[in-house]
Amino acid sequence: MQKIKIGVIGGAGYTAGELLRILIYHPQVDIVFVNSSSNAGNPVTAVHSGLIGETDLIFTSDLPLDKVDALFLCSAHGDSKKFIEANEIPKEVKIIDLSTDYRAKSLDHDFVYGLPELNRDAIKKATHVANPGCFATAIQVALLPLASKGLLNDEIHVNAITGSTGAGVKPSPTSHFSWRNNNISIYKPFGHQHLHEIGQSINQLQPDFNKSVNFIPVRGNFTRGIYVTAYTRCNLSLEEANKLYQDYYKDAAFTFLTDKNPDLKQVVNTNKAIVYLEKHGDKLLVVSMIDNLLKGASGQAVQNMNLMFGLDEKAGLGLKAAGF
Protein backbone atom coordinates (compact mmCIF):
# COMPACT_ATOMS: atom_id res chain seq x y z
CA MET A 1 0.00 0.00 0.00
CA GLN A 2 1.25 3.48 -0.88
CA LYS A 3 2.09 5.52 2.20
CA ILE A 4 -0.23 8.31 3.33
CA LYS A 5 1.33 11.74 2.86
CA ILE A 6 0.78 13.97 5.87
CA GLY A 7 0.92 17.69 6.58
CA VAL A 8 0.82 19.21 10.08
CA ILE A 9 -0.40 22.76 10.78
CA GLY A 10 0.57 24.40 14.07
CA GLY A 11 3.59 22.17 14.52
CA ALA A 12 5.17 23.72 17.63
CA GLY A 13 2.62 22.82 20.33
CA TYR A 14 2.37 19.87 22.70
CA THR A 15 -0.22 18.04 20.60
CA ALA A 16 1.87 18.45 17.45
CA GLY A 17 4.92 17.12 19.27
CA GLU A 18 3.03 14.01 20.36
CA LEU A 19 1.56 13.64 16.88
CA LEU A 20 5.00 13.71 15.27
CA ARG A 21 6.33 11.22 17.82
CA ILE A 22 3.65 8.77 16.63
CA LEU A 23 3.72 9.54 12.90
CA ILE A 24 7.50 9.29 12.51
CA TYR A 25 7.23 5.57 13.24
CA HIS A 26 3.80 4.93 11.75
CA PRO A 27 4.28 2.15 9.18
CA GLN A 28 1.94 3.71 6.59
CA VAL A 29 2.85 7.41 6.85
CA ASP A 30 5.27 9.87 5.25
CA ILE A 31 5.38 13.36 6.79
CA VAL A 32 5.57 15.88 3.92
CA PHE A 33 5.69 19.09 5.95
CA VAL A 34 5.34 20.54 9.45
CA ASN A 35 4.09 24.11 9.30
CA SER A 36 5.01 26.72 11.91
CA SER A 37 5.45 30.31 10.77
CA SER A 38 7.22 31.37 13.97
CA ASN A 39 9.73 28.50 13.71
CA ALA A 40 10.18 28.32 9.93
CA GLY A 41 13.68 27.18 8.98
CA ASN A 42 14.43 25.65 12.36
CA PRO A 43 14.74 21.91 12.98
CA VAL A 44 11.65 20.32 14.49
CA THR A 45 13.97 19.05 17.24
CA ALA A 46 14.72 22.65 18.26
CA VAL A 47 11.19 22.70 19.73
CA HIS A 48 10.44 19.01 20.23
CA SER A 49 13.77 18.01 21.75
CA GLY A 50 12.49 14.53 22.59
CA LEU A 51 12.73 13.78 18.86
CA ILE A 52 16.52 14.36 18.66
CA GLY A 53 17.95 11.45 16.68
CA GLU A 54 14.48 10.48 15.42
CA THR A 55 13.91 12.99 12.60
CA ASP A 56 15.57 15.59 10.36
CA LEU A 57 12.31 17.43 9.65
CA ILE A 58 12.49 21.24 9.36
CA PHE A 59 9.63 23.59 10.22
CA THR A 60 8.30 25.45 7.20
CA SER A 61 6.01 28.39 6.51
CA ASP A 62 5.08 26.83 3.16
CA LEU A 63 1.74 25.13 2.59
CA PRO A 64 2.09 22.47 -0.13
CA LEU A 65 -1.50 21.37 0.39
CA ASP A 66 -1.67 19.65 -2.99
CA LYS A 67 1.12 17.28 -1.94
CA VAL A 68 -0.67 15.62 0.98
CA ASP A 69 -3.43 13.08 1.52
CA ALA A 70 -4.28 14.21 5.04
CA LEU A 71 -3.88 17.34 7.12
CA PHE A 72 -3.72 17.53 10.90
CA LEU A 73 -4.71 20.91 12.33
CA CYS A 74 -2.97 21.43 15.68
CA SER A 75 -3.62 25.16 15.83
CA ALA A 76 -5.11 27.11 18.72
CA HIS A 77 -8.88 27.07 19.15
CA GLY A 78 -10.45 29.42 16.65
CA ASP A 79 -7.53 29.23 14.22
CA SER A 80 -8.55 26.03 12.42
CA LYS A 81 -11.67 27.63 11.01
CA LYS A 82 -9.67 30.69 9.95
CA PHE A 83 -7.09 28.45 8.26
CA ILE A 84 -9.69 26.48 6.31
CA GLU A 85 -11.46 29.65 5.21
CA ALA A 86 -8.20 31.30 4.13
CA ASN A 87 -6.71 28.43 2.13
CA GLU A 88 -7.80 26.35 -0.84
CA ILE A 89 -7.50 22.80 0.42
CA PRO A 90 -8.07 20.14 -2.28
CA LYS A 91 -11.42 18.49 -1.64
CA GLU A 92 -9.88 15.00 -1.54
CA VAL A 93 -7.52 15.91 1.32
CA LYS A 94 -8.76 14.45 4.59
CA ILE A 95 -8.66 16.79 7.59
CA ILE A 96 -8.41 15.94 11.27
CA ASP A 97 -8.90 19.05 13.39
CA LEU A 98 -7.67 18.92 17.00
CA SER A 99 -9.28 22.23 18.01
CA THR A 100 -12.79 22.96 19.28
CA ASP A 101 -13.82 24.67 16.05
CA TYR A 102 -15.91 21.92 14.44
CA ARG A 103 -16.95 19.68 17.34
CA ALA A 104 -20.47 21.09 17.54
CA LYS A 105 -22.81 19.64 14.93
CA SER A 106 -23.89 22.25 12.42
CA LEU A 107 -25.33 22.56 8.95
CA ASP A 108 -22.41 24.91 8.25
CA HIS A 109 -19.83 22.09 8.08
CA ASP A 110 -19.48 18.36 7.39
CA PHE A 111 -17.06 17.44 10.18
CA VAL A 112 -17.80 14.13 11.94
CA TYR A 113 -17.26 14.08 15.70
CA GLY A 114 -14.23 11.81 16.03
CA LEU A 115 -14.88 9.63 19.07
CA PRO A 116 -14.45 6.06 17.75
CA GLU A 117 -16.32 4.61 20.73
CA LEU A 118 -19.36 6.51 19.46
CA ASN A 119 -18.96 7.17 15.72
CA ARG A 120 -16.58 4.55 14.33
CA ASP A 121 -18.63 3.80 11.20
CA ALA A 122 -19.17 7.49 10.40
CA ILE A 123 -15.45 8.23 10.88
CA LYS A 124 -14.57 5.52 8.35
CA LYS A 125 -16.60 7.36 5.69
CA ALA A 126 -15.62 10.90 6.69
CA THR A 127 -13.40 13.35 4.84
CA HIS A 128 -13.34 15.79 7.77
CA VAL A 129 -13.14 14.77 11.44
CA ALA A 130 -13.28 16.93 14.56
CA ASN A 131 -11.11 15.34 17.22
CA PRO A 132 -12.80 15.38 20.67
CA GLY A 133 -11.58 17.33 23.66
CA CYS A 134 -9.47 15.60 26.30
CA PHE A 135 -11.88 15.99 29.24
CA ALA A 136 -14.76 15.21 26.88
CA THR A 137 -13.17 11.94 25.78
CA ALA A 138 -12.55 10.71 29.32
CA ILE A 139 -16.02 11.71 30.55
CA GLN A 140 -17.86 10.30 27.53
CA VAL A 141 -16.04 6.97 27.87
CA ALA A 142 -17.40 6.87 31.43
CA LEU A 143 -21.02 7.67 30.50
CA LEU A 144 -21.87 6.49 26.97
CA PRO A 145 -22.65 2.84 27.84
CA LEU A 146 -25.36 4.08 30.23
CA ALA A 147 -26.72 6.49 27.62
CA SER A 148 -26.85 3.68 25.04
CA LYS A 149 -29.53 1.98 27.17
CA GLY A 150 -31.35 5.16 28.23
CA LEU A 151 -30.12 4.83 31.81
CA LEU A 152 -28.98 8.40 32.47
CA ASN A 153 -32.10 9.56 34.27
CA ASP A 154 -30.68 11.72 37.05
CA GLU A 155 -28.06 14.42 37.51
CA ILE A 156 -24.49 13.34 36.82
CA HIS A 157 -21.66 14.45 39.08
CA VAL A 158 -18.15 14.55 37.60
CA ASN A 159 -14.80 15.45 39.13
CA ALA A 160 -11.81 15.27 36.80
CA ILE A 161 -8.19 16.19 37.36
CA THR A 162 -5.82 16.96 34.49
CA GLY A 163 -2.09 17.35 34.07
CA SER A 164 -0.36 20.63 33.30
CA THR A 165 0.10 19.82 29.59
CA GLY A 166 -3.66 20.28 29.23
CA ALA A 167 -3.02 24.04 29.47
CA GLY A 168 -0.93 24.04 26.28
CA VAL A 169 2.69 24.90 25.59
CA LYS A 170 2.32 28.67 26.10
CA PRO A 171 3.10 29.57 29.74
CA SER A 172 0.31 30.97 31.89
CA PRO A 173 0.12 31.92 35.57
CA THR A 174 -1.44 28.54 36.41
CA SER A 175 0.95 26.39 34.37
CA HIS A 176 4.34 27.64 35.63
CA PHE A 177 6.16 24.94 37.62
CA SER A 178 6.54 27.14 40.69
CA TRP A 179 2.74 27.56 40.88
CA ARG A 180 1.65 24.12 39.72
CA ASN A 181 4.04 22.02 41.80
CA ASN A 182 2.62 20.87 45.15
CA ASN A 183 -0.59 22.70 44.31
CA ILE A 184 -4.15 21.98 43.20
CA SER A 185 -7.11 24.14 42.18
CA ILE A 186 -10.43 24.05 40.34
CA TYR A 187 -11.34 26.11 37.28
CA LYS A 188 -14.44 26.71 35.18
CA PRO A 189 -16.72 24.76 37.59
CA PHE A 190 -20.09 23.84 36.01
CA GLY A 191 -19.18 25.79 32.85
CA HIS A 192 -16.30 24.04 31.09
CA GLN A 193 -16.36 24.32 27.29
CA HIS A 194 -16.31 20.52 26.84
CA LEU A 195 -19.77 20.18 28.40
CA HIS A 196 -21.43 20.99 25.08
CA GLU A 197 -19.82 18.12 23.20
CA ILE A 198 -20.46 15.75 26.12
CA GLY A 199 -24.16 16.65 26.08
CA GLN A 200 -24.27 16.38 22.30
CA SER A 201 -22.91 12.81 22.42
CA ILE A 202 -25.17 11.73 25.27
CA ASN A 203 -28.20 13.02 23.34
CA GLN A 204 -27.05 11.13 20.25
CA LEU A 205 -27.57 7.89 22.20
CA GLN A 206 -30.27 9.04 24.63
CA PRO A 207 -32.27 11.85 22.98
CA ASP A 208 -34.46 12.49 26.03
CA PHE A 209 -31.54 13.21 28.38
CA ASN A 210 -32.05 16.66 29.92
CA LYS A 211 -30.37 16.44 33.32
CA SER A 212 -27.39 18.45 34.54
CA VAL A 213 -23.82 17.23 34.14
CA ASN A 214 -22.19 18.84 37.17
CA PHE A 215 -18.55 18.97 36.12
CA ILE A 216 -15.74 20.23 38.36
CA PRO A 217 -12.41 20.37 36.46
CA VAL A 218 -9.26 20.29 38.59
CA ARG A 219 -5.70 21.35 37.79
CA GLY A 220 -3.32 18.62 38.93
CA ASN A 221 0.29 18.89 40.00
CA PHE A 222 1.51 16.33 37.44
CA THR A 223 2.39 16.64 33.78
CA ARG A 224 0.00 14.44 31.82
CA GLY A 225 -3.12 12.36 32.20
CA ILE A 226 -6.79 12.82 33.13
CA TYR A 227 -8.46 10.97 36.00
CA VAL A 228 -12.28 11.10 36.09
CA THR A 229 -14.67 10.08 38.85
CA ALA A 230 -18.34 10.28 37.87
CA TYR A 231 -21.43 9.08 39.69
CA THR A 232 -25.17 9.04 39.16
CA ARG A 233 -28.21 7.14 40.44
CA CYS A 234 -28.57 3.84 38.64
CA ASN A 235 -30.82 0.81 39.23
CA LEU A 236 -28.37 -1.67 37.74
CA SER A 237 -26.49 -4.05 40.01
CA LEU A 238 -22.70 -3.94 39.78
CA GLU A 239 -22.77 -7.21 37.85
CA GLU A 240 -25.31 -5.81 35.37
CA ALA A 241 -23.35 -2.57 34.97
CA ASN A 242 -20.11 -4.43 34.29
CA LYS A 243 -21.89 -6.57 31.70
CA LEU A 244 -23.28 -3.42 30.01
CA TYR A 245 -19.84 -1.81 29.80
CA GLN A 246 -18.15 -5.01 28.62
CA ASP A 247 -20.72 -5.38 25.85
CA TYR A 248 -20.50 -1.73 24.80
CA TYR A 249 -16.70 -1.79 24.57
CA LYS A 250 -16.25 -5.33 23.28
CA ASP A 251 -15.07 -4.09 19.86
CA ALA A 252 -13.25 -0.96 21.10
CA ALA A 253 -9.60 -0.88 20.09
CA PHE A 254 -8.34 1.09 23.08
CA THR A 255 -11.04 1.24 25.78
CA PHE A 256 -10.92 -1.43 28.45
CA LEU A 257 -12.96 -2.29 31.55
CA THR A 258 -11.02 -3.46 34.58
CA ASP A 259 -12.22 -5.07 37.81
CA LYS A 260 -9.25 -3.69 39.76
CA ASN A 261 -9.23 -0.10 41.03
CA PRO A 262 -6.82 1.47 38.49
CA ASP A 263 -4.29 4.28 38.71
CA LEU A 264 -3.35 6.97 36.24
CA LYS A 265 0.07 5.54 35.38
CA GLN A 266 -1.64 2.64 33.62
CA VAL A 267 -2.65 4.95 30.75
CA VAL A 268 0.11 7.60 30.66
CA ASN A 269 2.05 7.35 27.36
CA THR A 270 -0.68 5.18 25.76
CA ASN A 271 -3.81 5.63 23.66
CA LYS A 272 -5.82 3.60 26.18
CA ALA A 273 -8.89 4.54 28.15
CA ILE A 274 -9.40 2.42 31.27
CA VAL A 275 -12.80 2.24 33.01
CA TYR A 276 -13.67 0.87 36.46
CA LEU A 277 -17.07 0.59 38.19
CA GLU A 278 -18.28 0.46 41.80
CA LYS A 279 -21.81 0.42 43.21
CA HIS A 280 -22.59 2.37 46.39
CA GLY A 281 -26.23 2.10 47.40
CA ASP A 282 -28.29 3.44 44.49
CA LYS A 283 -25.29 5.22 42.95
CA LEU A 284 -22.99 3.90 40.26
CA LEU A 285 -19.43 5.23 40.48
CA VAL A 286 -17.49 5.24 37.21
CA VAL A 287 -13.75 5.87 37.14
CA SER A 288 -12.13 6.54 33.77
CA MET A 289 -8.68 7.70 32.78
CA ILE A 290 -6.69 8.63 29.68
CA ASP A 291 -3.48 10.37 28.67
CA ASN A 292 -4.68 13.87 27.73
CA LEU A 293 -2.07 14.24 24.96
CA LEU A 294 -2.71 10.82 23.40
CA LYS A 295 -6.23 9.37 23.72
CA GLY A 296 -7.24 12.93 24.61
CA ALA A 297 -5.60 14.48 21.54
CA SER A 298 -2.88 13.22 19.18
CA GLY A 299 -3.25 9.47 19.69
CA GLN A 300 -6.96 9.65 19.03
CA ALA A 301 -6.27 11.82 15.98
CA VAL A 302 -4.05 9.06 14.56
CA GLN A 303 -6.68 6.48 15.50
CA ASN A 304 -9.17 8.52 13.46
CA MET A 305 -6.73 8.77 10.55
CA ASN A 306 -6.33 5.00 10.58
CA LEU A 307 -10.10 4.55 10.40
CA MET A 308 -10.48 7.15 7.63
CA PHE A 309 -7.89 5.40 5.45
CA GLY A 310 -9.03 1.84 6.14
CA LEU A 311 -5.91 0.92 8.14
CA ASP A 312 -5.61 -1.22 11.25
CA GLU A 313 -7.09 1.03 13.93
CA LYS A 314 -4.09 0.38 16.19
CA ALA A 315 -1.43 1.15 13.56
CA GLY A 316 1.37 3.25 15.01
CA LEU A 317 -0.23 3.29 18.44
CA GLY A 318 1.45 0.35 20.18
CA LEU A 319 2.61 2.48 23.10
CA LYS A 320 3.49 1.12 26.53
CA ALA A 321 2.37 2.80 29.73
CA ALA A 322 5.04 4.62 31.75
CA GLY A 323 4.19 2.59 34.85
CA PHE A 324 7.35 3.36 36.81
> Which residues are catalytic, by number?
134
Q: What distance in Å separates the CA atoms of residue 115 and residue 121, rounded to the nearest whole number?
A: 10
Q: Is the dihedral of CA 299, 315, 116, 123 positive or negative?
A: positive
Please provide the DSSP assignment of 195-219 as one string. HHHHHHHHHHH-TT----EEEEEEE
Q: What distance in Å separates the CA atoms of residue 121 and residue 202, rounded to the nearest whole number?
A: 17
| CB burial readout 175-191, b (16+ within 10 A) else e | beeeebeeeeeeeeeee
Residues counted in the chain: 324
CA-closest candidate to residue 304, choices 268, 266, 271: 271
Q: Are 44 and 34 in contact (CB under 8 A)?
A: yes
Q: Is the dihedral of CA 61, 128, 270, 178 positive or negative?
A: positive
Please provide the DSSP assignment of 119-139 as one string. HHHHHHH-SEEEPPPHHHHHH
